[in-house]
Structure 1
Amino acid sequence: MLKNEMKLQMFAGTSILDLFSHKEVLNYLRNRNLPTLLGDELFPSRKTTSLELEQITGGGGIPVIASIHAFDTESEIGSRQAAKATLELAFIKRKMQLKEKDIMALENPRTPEEQTYLTEQVYNDIEVLVRGVMARVEKMRMDVLANGQVTINENGLNATVDYQVPADHKEALSGTDLWTDPTSDPLGDIDRWIEAMSITPTRALTSKKILNALLRHPQVKASVFGSDTGKVLTRNELDAFMQSNGLPIIRTYDDKYKEQQKNGTYTTKRYFPENKFVMFDDEILGETVFGPTPEERLVRRAAVDISMVGNVLAMVYEENLDPVGTWEKAVATALPSFAAADEVFQAQPIA
């Protein structure tokens, strides 16, 4: 009992900014294992000191053949196929306000249990904000993979970042060619798309809806079983067939996020479009490039080791005098690079 009273005495009268200092928040995030997303694997993270990234694409996996020369003649002069573009990182941030009643309780807790509960609530808010920033990053990564573009249309910003996926590496099916039509030829489409690529794809990413359409498709079942006998085709059987025929193994990604509307309601959306089917190989597709934020200056002023700052910076801060506002915030600058832009095929096989 005496130990708890001593803890409360140490806690009492401590300001909210001291309780959740830059160092305390950074330590909390460093020790948390946040859920990983598919984009973390396909586009590994890299932190840079710049707000720009150089996107280099082109060349693909097909070599440019050299020509034969007579001895004592000048070599043919080659040119680089790769194209370079400079892109600016997107500034992503979100904040929540701490209620004055909770701040007073945090600064003067009545019991150790109240102290622990309120502290956990603040850190839970911070984690929610950080995951919200990472959700926006994941949406950009999946937009790049599915469409070859990042479209920004929020908070007065309207921009499109085009990664220049070749036009002949994209196709939207229609009519009886749609994979939901029993007379369509999904495996023939996949073969045709592979022929258009400069690499041999080993993986395909799609939705559960498209995978189920393939598993039920009479032409696919006939190819796997020899005829469509009405037998149910399983994922493992389709995997084995695809692998034995040198076709990409199909995996699904159906994770979702919530987007808050101006009226306060929430809309649930997908990271990866439900109508897309994208093929690629085992190589890394690109990177998730994180840069510095203006808020990192505040961390430096607080004499915190800047190396502690991860890809997303979180903080508790105050602003204004009347009324005083205390906020929790998460912020990052980020953008995917897409070095494999000319080594993917982006298809839309269902409406």
Structure 2
Amino acid sequence: MPTIFDYVTAPALAAYIANNPSNNIPYLGAALFPPRKKLGLDLSWIKGARGVPVSLQPSAFDAKATLRDRIGFAKIETEMPFFRESMRLGEKDRQELLRLQDNSNDQYVMPLITQIFDDRAQLVEGAQVVPERMIMQLLSSGHIRITSNETRQDYDYNYGFAGSHKETLTGSARWSDSSSTPIQDIQRWKKIINGDTGASLTRAICTEKTWGYLMQHPSIRLDMNPIGGQNVIMTDELLHAYLFNKLKIRVSVYNKIYGLQDGSTHQFFPDDFFTLIPDGNLGSTWYGTTPEEADLMAGATVAEVSIVNTGVAVTTIKEPHPVNVETIVSEIVLPSFETMDTVFIAKVA
């Protein structure tokens, strides 16, 4: 009869996660900042504009891991953020498996096994949230902030984003005001980047709320139909086509959300921001070598380690007393931003 240790293993979990259809749908940030892997991960490998190393504000090192929000356990190892969280399959779960196995029918056992695997897959999904939050911070502010009230850690990764490539609209210039000029604003921002770097801004990112300012804007409706602009029945398709024809930009309306352990939900990309970007990849999402991968993957221990999604370590550890299997998901991750000089960030409302 299979034991508790036969069901939940790192290779089995990794295979389950790799074959999960939801794992094949990448976040927007993951598409713009493709994952890459290296041994270790120090700041000399994390580049901002023109290959300049990223500056890190001073803080305490080797802080003890503690529970934080849904992006996981927080610990700072040398220069880089380290995230880790675990789940335990205990004796109560084992007793439930034994009870179901008495039926000698997989149709009763497999739903529980699937639930156990799904629970652990959520840890990996939480690991994917971490770099996406970082990337969207970069694309809306130009820096990454990692804080933990419990450990009093406060890390600010300053990528040196140019102040001349940011703008905050105020007063009647805000896109929520009907007298604002969003098309002229976008034209001006494109010219700034082209004049400074020679790059062409061809894409943009915003949320549904920000997109709504453009959908409802009278100047756009009037430009579409000079005779009866207010009679235009605006659709997403019409506005996408108009912006491409007028400005040669394609807009990604990004409303994907993540949850925290307190039950709250948040958008990856904030409302009221409009970020213009060029074609191609904007940087890389660098994964380092976690302690689990570095020290446990070689074997000769009660732990098994598998790597998923380029650099996320899935570790299972057998505990004989009490009889448990602990599943640990950990990562060391930080994006680089080599094309930062060719990005324009605008707060439009």
Which range, TM-score by smaller chain?
0.7 to 0.9
| Equivalent residue number for residue 125 of structure 2 | 131
Q: For residues 315-349 of structure 1, what are the alpha-carbon distances to aligned partners after superposition, in whole Å with 9 as ceiling and x for unaligned?
A: 3325695x666433211111111111111001110
1:178 correspondence with 2:174: yes
| Equivalent residue number for residue 212 of structure 1 | 212
Q: Which runs of 5+ in 1 are unaligned?
A: 1-9, 60-81
| Equivalent residue number for residue 62 of structure 1 | none
Superposed counterparts of 1:195-206, under 5 Å: 195-197=191-193, 198=197, 199-206=199-206
Tell me, yes or no, if the aligned pair for 1:55 and 1:339 is still in contact at 8 Å: no
Amino acid at match of 1:207: T
Amino acid at match of 1:38: L
Task: State how far apart, in whole Å, the 1-side matches of 2:80 and 2:283 are.
Answer: 15
| Equivalent residue number for residue 61 of structure 2 | none
Amino acid at match of 2:42: E
| Equivalent residue number for residue 333 of structure 1 | 332
Task: State how far apart, in whole Å, the 1-side matches of 2:8 and 2:134 are.
Answer: 31
| Equivalent residue number for residue 98 of structure 1 | 89
Task: State how far apart, in whole Å, the 2-side matches of 1:252 and 1:101 are.
Answer: 45
Question: Secondary structure at 1:56's aligned position in 2?
Answer: coil
Superposed counterparts of 1:26-105, under 5 Å: 26-33=14-21, 34=23, 35-53=25-43, 54-59=45-50, 82-85=51-54, 88-105=79-96
CA shift in 2, pair 1:23/1:238, >3 Å: closer
CA shift in 2, pair 1:23/1:250, >3 Å: closer
Task: State how far apart, in whole Å, the 2-side matches of 1:166 and 1:336 are.
Answer: 18
CA shift in 2, pair 1:101/1:276, >3 Å: same
Deviation of residue 236 (structure 1)? 2.6
Deviation of residue 56 (structure 1)? 3.3
| Equivalent residue number for residue 76 of structure 1 | none
Amino acid at match of 1:49: L
1:221 correspondence with 2:217: no
Deviation of residue 37 (structure 1)? 1.1
Tell me, yes or no, if the aligned pair for 1:125 and 1:328 is still in contact at 8 Å: no
CA shift in 2, pair 1:307/1:274, >3 Å: same
Q: TM-score, normalised by structure 2?
A: 0.81
Q: For residues 106-132 of structure 1, what are the alpha-carbon distances to aligned partners after superposition, in whole Å with 9 as ceiling and x for unaligned?
A: 367323344322221211111111001
1:144 correspondence with 2:145: no
Task: State how far apart, in whole Å, the 2-side matches of 1:246 and 1:172 are.
Answer: 21
| Equivalent residue number for residue 110 of structure 1 | 102
**CA-based RMSD:** 2.6
Amino acid at match of 1:94: E
Task: State how far apart, in whole Å, the 1-side matches of 2:49 and 2:135 are.
Answer: 19
Task: State how far apart, in whole Å, the 1-side matches of 2:346 and 2:249 are.
Answer: 14
Deviation of residue 165 (structure 1)? 1.3
1:159 correspondence with 2:155: yes
| Equivalent residue number for residue 232 of structure 1 | 233
Task: State how far apart, in whole Å, the 1-side matches of 2:298 and 2:180 are.
Answer: 60
Tell me, yes or no, if the aligned pair for 1:22 and 1:302 is still in contact at 8 Å: no
Percent identity between the two aligned chains? 30
Task: State how far apart, in whole Å, the 2-side matches of 1:126 and 1:348 are.
Answer: 38
Q: For residues 289-332 of structure 1, what are the alpha-carbon distances to aligned partners after superposition, in whole Å with 9 as ceiling and x for unaligned?
A: 111111122232159998865421223325695x6664332111
Deviates more, 1:164-173 or 1:103-112: 103-112
1:286 correspondence with 2:283: yes
Say which one has the larger Rg.
Answer: 1
> How many residues are aligned here?
311
CA shift in 2, pair 1:308/1:167, >3 Å: closer
Task: State how far apart, in whole Å, the 2-side matches of 1:21 and 1:307 are.
Answer: 9
Deviates more, 1:243-252 or 1:266-275: 243-252
Tell me, yes or no, if the aligned pair for 2:166 and 2:346 is still in contact at 8 Å: yes
| Equivalent residue number for residue 7 of structure 2 | 19
Tell me, yes or no, if the aligned pair for 2:203 and 2:250 is still in contact at 8 Å: yes
Task: State how far apart, in whole Å, the 2-side matches of 1:58 and 1:133 are.
Answer: 26
Tell me, yes or no, if the aligned pair for 1:205 and 1:251 is still in contact at 8 Å: yes
Deviation of residue 252 (structure 1)? 0.4
CA shift in 2, pair 1:224/1:153, >3 Å: same
Tell me, yes or no, if the aligned pair for 2:33 and 2:335 is still in contact at 8 Å: yes
Task: State how far apart, in whole Å, the 2-side matches of 1:22 and 1:244 are.
Answer: 50
Tell me, yes or no, if the aligned pair for 2:13 and 2:121 is still in contact at 8 Å: no
Q: TM-score, normalised by structure 1?
A: 0.80
Tell me, yes or no, if the aligned pair for 2:305 and 2:316 is still in contact at 8 Å: no
Question: Secondary structure at 1:251's aligned position in 2?
Answer: strand
Tell me, yes or no, if the aligned pair for 1:44 and 1:287 is still in contact at 8 Å: yes
Task: State how far apart, in whole Å, the 2-side matches of 1:84 and 1:51 are.
Answer: 13
Q: Which runs of 5+ in 2 are unaligned?
A: 57-78
Amino acid at match of 1:110: D
| Equivalent residue number for residue 314 of structure 1 | 314
| Equivalent residue number for residue 244 of structure 2 | 243
Task: State how far apart, in whole Å, the 1-side matches of 2:211 and 2:35 are.
Answer: 29
